[in-house]
């Protein structure tokens, strides 16, 4: 059973969290490189991390996304206090902001399974099981990533977006679950580049404000269950 250090980053600027993930990925990649070249190793073991956080208002565009899916200009974004990043994750454009749980697993999939499709389905499963604890039945939409409600009919709506990057089976980026998210910010983009589907949140579906700390706790438990891992309390160390 792999050990995963859980680190709650709190409310953190998107770029800062991205840099942090990149630095932890690099630590893993450096160890892999040293092993491959039979070089002396400083740190011997590649460790796994699960970062959870919230971001101030931000739109992020994946490497396969299209700028035209951002429907407002820089001036309007400034008015809305929203920043923008082009990222190296998969997927198109999405929104992060208050009331949303963002999770960034930094894992070495060579210690789990070398299958990105299975990795994405496993992330989805952890969210599906989390939502089930609240009586929200969710699932997958054929041909799309993320977690959806009523995926098999015209009322399909996304509650959790996903986009990851993998390098030599080290992962960064991850998922964003709408809990108490202000959904109006999705009106200024074409979420994930999908024009004919809606976006929702746990609060909207249940008609009440949701305890975000409770959701976070349940998600970490489900993540451990799906990935058959032991969750440890971690802390930021020099990367």
Would residue 53 show up in a list of annotated catalytic residues for this protein? no
For residue 121 the two structure tokens come to 């389905």
The answer to whether 156 is a known ligand-binding residue is no
Torsion 135-140-146-149 (CA) sign: negative
The answer to whether 17 is a known ligand-binding residue is no
The answer to whether 91 is a known ligand-binding residue is yes
The answer to whether 135 is a known ligand-binding residue is no
Distance (Å, whole) CA 210 – CA 217: 13
The answer to whether 90 is a known ligand-binding residue is yes
Q: At what angle do helices 116-132 and 212-226 cross, to 10 degrees?
A: 140
The answer to whether 93 is a known ligand-binding residue is yes
The answer to whether 163 is a known ligand-binding residue is yes
The answer to whether 92 is a known ligand-binding residue is yes
Under 8 Å between Cβ of 111 and 57: no
The answer to whether 95 is a known ligand-binding residue is yes
The answer to whether 50 is a known ligand-binding residue is no
Burial, 1: exposed, middle or buried (Cβ in 10 Å; 0-12, 13-18, 19+)? exposed
Under 8 Å between Cβ of 2 and 49: no
Single out the catalytic residue among 52, 192, 215, 218.
192
Please tell me the number of Cα atoms within 13 Å of 12 on its side-chain side: 19
For residue 209 the two structure tokens come to 């404000």
Which residues form the catalytic set?
Answer: 192
Residues annotated in the binding site for substrate, as ranges? 89-96, 161-163, 174-176
Residues annotated in the binding site, as ranges? 89-96, 161-163, 174-176
């Amino acid at each position: 059973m792999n050990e995963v250090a859980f680190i709650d980053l709190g409310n953190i600027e998107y770029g800062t969290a991205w840099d942090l993930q990149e630095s932890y990925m690099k630590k893993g990649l450096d160890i892999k490189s040293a092993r491959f070249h039979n070089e002396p190793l400083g740190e011997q073991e590649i460790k796994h991390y699960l970062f959870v956080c919230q971001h101030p208002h931000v739109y992020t565009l994946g490497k396969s996304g299209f700028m035209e899916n951002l429907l407002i200009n820089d001036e309007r974004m400034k008015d809305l206090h929203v920043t923008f990043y082009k990222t190296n994750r998969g997927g198109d454009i999405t929104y992060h902001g208050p009331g949303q749980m963002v999770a960034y697993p930094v894992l070495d999939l060579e210690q789990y399974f070398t299958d990105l499709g299975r990795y994405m389905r496993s992330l989805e499963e952890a969210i599906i099981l989390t939502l089930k604890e609240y009586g929200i039945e969710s699932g997958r939409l054929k041909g799309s990533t993320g977690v959806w409600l009523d995926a098999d009919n015209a009322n399909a709506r996304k509650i959790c977006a996903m986009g990851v990057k993998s390098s030599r089976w080290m992962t960064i980026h991850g998922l964003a679950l709408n809990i108490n998210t202000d959904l109006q910010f999705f009106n200024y983009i074409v979420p994930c580049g999908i024009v004919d589907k809606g976006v929702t949140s746990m609060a909207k579906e249940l008609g009440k404000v949701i305890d975000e700390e409770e959701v976070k706790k349940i998600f970490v438990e489900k993540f451990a269950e799906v990935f058959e891992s032991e969750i440890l309390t971690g802390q930021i160390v020099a990367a």
